[in-house]
Structure 1
Amino acid sequence: MEAGGRRARRREAAEYYRGQRVPERMEEALNALFPLSPGDLYGELANYLSKYSKAPVICKLVGRKVLDGVGQPTLEVEIYCTVKNYEKRICSTVMSFHSQIPENALPEKIEAEEKERNDSVNTAVEWVNESLNTMLRDLEPTDQCQVDKMLGEYFTNKVEEKKNIQRQEEEEEEEAEATLALPPRAPSPATPPGKKKSAKPGKKSSVAERPIPPAEPADPVLCGSLAIGGTSLAIAKAGATISHVPLYSHIALLKHDQSQLQESPEEMTLPLPMVTLLNCEKMSPSKLKLVKEVMLIPPVQLSLKQGIERVLDIQKEMTRLLESPGKMPGPQPADGKKGRAQNSGKKSLPQFLKRISHLGCLTTGYDDVEQLLLVMQTACSNIGLELGTDVYLAINCAAHELMDYDKGKYEILTGTFKSPDEMVAMYGELIDKFPFIIALIDPLRKEDREQWSNICCALGSKCYLIAEDAATCISKLKTDQNINTPVCSGVVLKYVNETKVSDLIELTGILHGQRHITILGSPDGESSDDSLVDLAVGLGARFIKLGGLSRGERVTKYNRLLAIEEELAKNRNLRETKLEFVAFAEESQPENQLSDELPPPEQD
């Protein structure tokens, strides 16, 4: 039957080429060499000749203003390449925008921030469509190092231009003042941050035991810097598309080539998700200010799919408890008279479920940390789970938002203040009492470096002490192969502004070499682009912090993570991961030796 089919195809080919006046001997040769139909023959020839075609090159970049997940403007970058002499759209990426406005910011500050953001996006669109479009034309999208080098040089020139403009404006102001012969300005009576006005005689002073370091100025963000990060990431996606591999594999190969590692990047570990369950308000009527986010971390022994399902079960039970105030656990009776008084009034109950936060999680408030943790324990117990065995907690303290610079102390509860040293002692008691908390994010300001060292020595072998806001922007984290952060267990990296893919690759290599863990974090103003997940997998991040399991821009990333797990498991490229802490206090411990592995969970 098969031989008959071949003979039929040969006859068809002969008939075709006879009609095309192909010489009889050529017809016989073709029949002998290619026992295929004419269509199949041309397809084979096309595939063969395509191997000798010119490699795809960038022919056009398109930047445009789009909206992110909360309706704010951000940047989209599209990449077009010349493929076999035809212009073809390869991919696009949408940048996330990181806002650093505190929850209780004044309307004037919010309005100014929105105007600055709009100007920045407009400038970024202009850079992409004009300068970067011309500069990167005819480069191969697979040459990430060259692209990022050119982007870095372009950004450095823009920074210098900005400095020159500012310098010129300052000189013009000085000349104008000299011309008008204005009298010298009197010093401002305002009290600088970190200092307290002198107390009146007879009144008790509330000055801190010792002066605290003043807040470091915020890292300046150059208007238009989104264009650098957006273009670098879009080029990486284009390189993966041209190479016919997933973006996470492309990133892993880039990291392998750049760091010259010996091990193959074929096997990968998935980052553990830090799933935000609660967004705790730091405003009245709730008293608790110390906790900004409560996150759930599934145990490593579960698959990612099983872990997400477990988190969803806890989220459903928490929602039920928050919507049923009569079933909420109240304060412990051991509080004495004060506890009984609170228990009899409405104020003793936690703030009930209000809305879904922009982080994609439940929004609520509490009066103290123990009340919050008691509710968490109750929710888990109701569905047959145990904190510390079946699931772990991480807390984002966001301590930089708590500092009262007049008092020189952190306001952890409304009217309750603690010095940096007292904060370290408080965290020690908290972890000893609730060992299921395995990560604290920003437990202190970055300026309190001495206390960061103390807390790491005290608690580093029990939980992760992670710097998020306490770390500077990615472009300034690396200084002479060192990390410019306080002593910590790890750093949350966010792909924003002028961040480049090559920066992330280099920085994660340094972090790994210095026993730091890497957490890829999702910014506040998130988009529906799921590239962050591929970056986390390709870079080998220990955790990924994406927010909650609601809102499309958040859920799409969890779905991408699940898809990658399925693909790696199918190809047998999924490597198991472990959670181990660093014992900072043991200075003689070898660099690569970690301690205190988390216990395995009980099987369902």
Structure 2
Amino acid sequence: MKITSVIARQLLDTKTRPLVEVEIRTDTGHVGLGAAPTGSSVGVHEAFVLRDGNPAEYDGLSVHHAVASVTDHIAPALVGAELDLRVLDQKMIDLDGTSDKSKLGSNAIYSTSIALLRASAAAAGVPTYTYVADLMGLPPVSTVPVPSFNMINGGRYGDLTQPFNEFLVMPYKAESIEQAVEKSVKVFKVLDQLLTEKIGHKPQVASSYGYAAPSADPREVLQILAEAVDRAGCSDIMAFALDCASSEMYDKTAHTYELNGRRVSSAELIDYTRQLSEEFPLVFVEDLLDEDDWDGYTQAVAEIPKTIILGDDLIVTNRERLERAVELSAVDGFILKPNQVGTISEALDCYSYGQDRGLLAIPSGRSGGVIDDVVMDLSVGLGVPFQKNGAPRSGERIEKLNFLLRVADSVPHCSMADVSALVKA
């Protein structure tokens, strides 16, 4: 089976930022589409996203140069080649020749990689998630992951600065994916009512579609979230999680973090989070520290035994950085975002390395999402225990939930993953 055409175009993500979409066709008539979303918070160690920098178009965010990378460089190298994901991913890596994919742009390479995966699945006549399971030598799909939902967002809101980026709920004890989704949507609606009561007006919708944090104190925000869960009658099935995104609040000169209106050290932030983990059932804490605070992460894993410490900006789905984290015992797991490293093959290699060493991999989309995100196929195909789904608002996030509901309905005897053994809370 040979590739007959590779076409690229500029489209938009769900935040109306340009992205690259690639369409691959084979001589057997099979088609694969791939589009590369990006995040609002992008770690410095992520693969390079090539944008035009022309302020006259989309404030400099257009991606015509990345489209040209596909048209002028990637397409000639792939057209006529046998359809083989790993071989062709490596061909693109070699063609680029840089450590961060800055020559061709990771958005050009990653979009093509997704299209290769999807074309391969189409040629095999199976859903992409089934193809992923087969590719990795895993058992047939029999579960869907427990979703987790971003309910309240931190950030800077006037005079208020909430340093933690995301406050999440996870319906980890729900009896089914149907119940998990329904109860989480209910909590989100009750939270709207509760915040309206507390602040005297409808809550602001934050940039990640959760509600803007009503307090600078993470403890107070968790208390409000716990009250919403209780009002919704879901306390028996819900736990919480945090994405701190602390690189956003880190002073690299003073080596301090923002917390409750003052600057604190790594040790102080770790101790504060340890206290939170003893007061609230926290399933995981993501990006507690800066993306280069390796010593701090090692300390956090040692001193916060009641929650899973996840690296996102620390690891950026990069196997070399994950290897260092393993050597230092710096994480219990990591967020799996394939666009951070730039190809599906490299992301799967990173996943395998972590799995072999007992680390959790938690797939997540990006803030600039897309409908039909390949991350969902990876979540189901790899059989991960839980994943991040964003706030239960906006089309592409609702589609992620519908994806899980659809798989659970269409795969015989499919159930929601049992994560009870993983939850330390």
Q: Please name the residue that 1:136 is paired with.
A: 78
Q: Is the 8 A contact 1:96 1:495 kept in 2?
A: no
1:271 and 2:145 equivalent? yes
Q: Is the 8 A contact 1:403 1:411 kept in 2?
A: yes
The alpha-carbon distance between structure 1 residues 498 and 430, as it changes in their structure 2 partners (threshold 3 A), is closer
Q: Is the 8 A contact 1:275 1:296 kept in 2?
A: yes
Q: Please name the residue that 2:47 is paired with.
A: none
**Which of 427, 433, 437 is residue 279 of structure 2 equivalent to?**
433
The alpha-carbon distance between structure 1 residues 153 and 579, as it changes in their structure 2 partners (threshold 3 A), is farther
Shift of 1:439: 1.2
The alpha-carbon distance between structure 1 residues 459 and 597, as it changes in their structure 2 partners (threshold 3 A), is closer
Q: Please name the residue that 2:293 is paired with.
A: 448
- SS at the partner of 1:438? strand
1:577 and 2:422 equivalent? no
1:495 and 2:376 equivalent? no
- SS at the partner of 1:281? strand
| Whole-angstrom distance in 2 between the partners of 1:145 and 1:375 | 47
Unmatched segments (≥5 aa) in structure 2: 44-52
Deviation digits for residues 154-210 of structure 1 (CA, Å, limit 9, x no counterpart): 122xx28xxxxxxxxxxxxxxxxxxxxxxxxxxxxxxxxxxxxxxxxxxxxxxxxxx
Task: Report the identity percentage.
Answer: 22
| Whole-angstrom distance in 1 between the partners of 2:316 and 2:258 | 23
Q: Please name the residue that 2:196 is paired with.
A: 323
1:394 and 2:241 equivalent? yes
1:78 and 2:31 equivalent? no
The alpha-carbon distance between structure 1 residues 277 and 504, as it changes in their structure 2 partners (threshold 3 A), is same
Unmatched segments (≥5 aa) in structure 1: 1-55, 103-108, 161-218, 257-263, 329-348, 582-595, 599-604
Shift of 1:140: 3.5
What RMSD, in angstroms, separates the aligned Cα atoms of the two structures? 2.9
Q: Please name the residue that 1:549 is paired with.
A: 392
Q: Please name the residue that 2:210 is paired with.
A: 361
| Whole-angstrom distance in 2 between the partners of 1:350 and 1:371 | 17
Deviation digits for residues 359-389 of structure 1 (CA, Å, limit 9, x no counterpart): 2322233132232122222222223232xx3
- SS at the partner of 2:339? coil
| Whole-angstrom distance in 2 between the partners of 1:476 and 1:80 | 33
> What are the residue-to-residue correspondences of 1:379-418 with 2, within 5 Å?
379-386=228-235, 389-414=236-261, 416-418=262-264
| Whole-angstrom distance in 1 between the partners of 2:202 and 2:224 | 12
Deviation digits for residues 254-277 of structure 1 (CA, Å, limit 9, x no counterpart): 111xxxxxxx52144322212111
Q: Is the 8 A contact 1:226 1:498 kept in 2?
A: no
Shift of 1:573: 5.3
Shift of 1:511: 0.4
Q: Please name the residue that 1:195 is paired with.
A: none
The alpha-carbon distance between structure 1 residues 499 and 317, as it changes in their structure 2 partners (threshold 3 A), is same
Shift of 1:139: 2.9
**Which of 135, 160, 182 is residue 286 of structure 1 equivalent to?**
160
TM-score (norm 2): 0.88
Q: Please name the residue that 1:377 is paired with.
A: 226
Aligned residues: 416
Q: Is the 8 A contact 1:395 1:441 kept in 2?
A: yes
| Whole-angstrom distance in 2 between the partners of 1:230 and 1:486 | 33
Q: Is the 8 A contact 2:317 2:340 kept in 1?
A: no
Shift of 1:301: 4.6
The alpha-carbon distance between structure 1 residues 98 and 90, as it changes in their structure 2 partners (threshold 3 A), is same
Q: Is the deviation greater in 470-479 or in 236-245?
A: 470-479
Deviation digits for residues 57-96 of structure 1 (CA, Å, limit 9, x no counterpart): 210011000111011110011111212xxxx462312211
- SS at the partner of 1:288? strand
Question: Counterpart of 1:564 in structure 2: which amino acid?
Answer: V
Question: Counterpart of 1:378 in structure 2: which amino acid?
Answer: E
Shift of 1:540: 2.7
Deviation digits for residues 522-577 of structure 1 (CA, Å, limit 9, x no counterpart): 11221223221001111233322231111112211221121112222xx2355843
| Whole-angstrom distance in 1 between the partners of 2:59 and 2:264 | 37
Q: Is the 8 A contact 2:117 2:128 kept in 1?
A: yes
| Whole-angstrom distance in 2 between the partners of 1:503 and 1:537 | 18
Q: Please name the residue that 1:469 is paired with.
A: 313
Question: Counterpart of 2:75 in structure 1: which amino acid?
Answer: N
Q: Please name the residue that 1:172 is paired with.
A: none
The alpha-carbon distance between structure 1 residues 131 and 406, as it changes in their structure 2 partners (threshold 3 A), is closer
1:152 and 2:93 equivalent? yes
Q: Is the 8 A contact 1:352 1:365 kept in 2?
A: no
| Whole-angstrom distance in 1 between the partners of 2:2 and 2:348 | 23
Shift of 1:492: 0.7
| Whole-angstrom distance in 2 between the partners of 1:475 and 1:498 | 9
> What are the residue-to-residue correspondences of 1:33-432 with 2, within 5 Å?
56-83=1-28, 88=29, 90-100=31-41, 117-118=61-62, 121-141=63-83, 143-156=84-97, 159=98, 221-222=102-103, 224-256=105-137, 265-289=139-163, 291-324=164-197, 328=198, 353-355=203-205, 357-386=206-235, 389-414=236-261, 416-432=262-278
Q: Is the deviation greater in 571-580 or in 359-368?
A: 571-580
Q: Please name the residue that 1:20 is paired with.
A: none
Q: Please name the residue that 2:348 is paired with.
A: 505
Q: Is the 8 A contact 1:474 1:499 kept in 2?
A: no
The alpha-carbon distance between structure 1 residues 535 and 113, as it changes in their structure 2 partners (threshold 3 A), is farther
Deviation digits for residues 21-62 of structure 1 (CA, Å, limit 9, x no counterpart): xxxxxxxxxxxxxxxxxxxxxxxxxxxxxxxxxxx4210011
Q: Please name the residue that 2:48 is paired with.
A: none
| Whole-angstrom distance in 2 between the partners of 1:411 and 1:499 | 31
| Whole-angstrom distance in 2 between the partners of 1:512 and 1:475 | 12
